[in-house]
Amino acid sequence: MIKPVGSDELKPLFVYDSDEHQKLNKEAANLPSVVISSQAAGNAVMMGAGYFNPLQGFMNVADAMGAAEKMTLTDGSFFPVPVLCLLENADAIKGAKRIALRDPNVDGNPVLAVMDVKAIEEVTDAQMQVMTEKVYRTTDSDHNGVSTFNSQGRIAVSGDIQVLSFSYFQTDFPDTFRTAVEIRNEIQEHGWKKIVAFQTRNPMHLAHEELCHMAMDRLGCDGLVIHMLLGKLKKGDIPAPVRDGAIRKMVELYFPPNSVMVTGYGFDMLYAGPREAVLHAYFRQNMGATHFIIGRDHAGVGDYYGAFDAQTIFDDEVPAGALEIEIFRADHTAWSKKLNKVVMMNEAPDHEKDDFVLLSGTKVREMLGQGIAPPKEFSRPEVAKILIEYYQSLN
Measure the CA–CA gap between 35 and 86, rounded to whole angstroms.
11
Mapping DSSP to helix (H, G, I), strand (E, B) and coil, where does residue 250 land? helix
Residue (of 108, 106, 114) closest to 167 by Cα position: 106
**Is residue 63 within a helix (H) or strand (E), and if so which, with residue range?**
helix 61-70
**Is the backbone peptide bond immediately before 203 cis, with ω within 30 degrees of 0?**
no
Q: HSE of 225 in the Cβ direction (CA atoms, 13 Å)?
A: 35
102 is catalytic: no
Q: Which amino acid is at 332?
A: H
Which residue is catalytic, options 98, 154, 201, 248?
A: 201
Contact status, residue 279 vs residue 81, Cβ threshold 8 Å: yes
Measure the CA–CA gap between 14 and 389, rounded to whole angstroms.
38
| Torsion, Cα of 366, 332, 176, 83 (10° steps) | -110
Measure the CA–CA gap between 8 and 4, rounded to whole angstroms.
6
Residue (of 174, 293, 132, 308) closest to 227 by Cα position: 293
Measure the CA–CA gap between 169 and 42, rounded to whole angstroms.
10
248 is catalytic: no
Radius of gyration for the chain, computed over Cα atoms and rounded to the nearest angstrom? 21
Q: How far apart are the first and last CA of the chain?
A: 48
Secondary structure letter of residue 318 according to DSSP: S
Residue 366 neighbours by CB distance under 10 Å: 13
Mapping DSSP to helix (H, G, I), strand (E, B) and coil, where does residue 183 land? helix
Measure the CA–CA gap between 161 and 159, rounded to whole angstroms.
6
Degrees, nearest 5: CA angle 301-154-151: 35
Measure the CA–CA gap between 111 and 104, rounded to whole angstroms.
10
Which residue is catalytic, options 202, 248, 329, 365?
A: 202
* DSSP assignment of 106-141: STT--EEEEEEEEEEEEPPHHHHHHHHHHHHS---T
Catalytic residues: 201-202
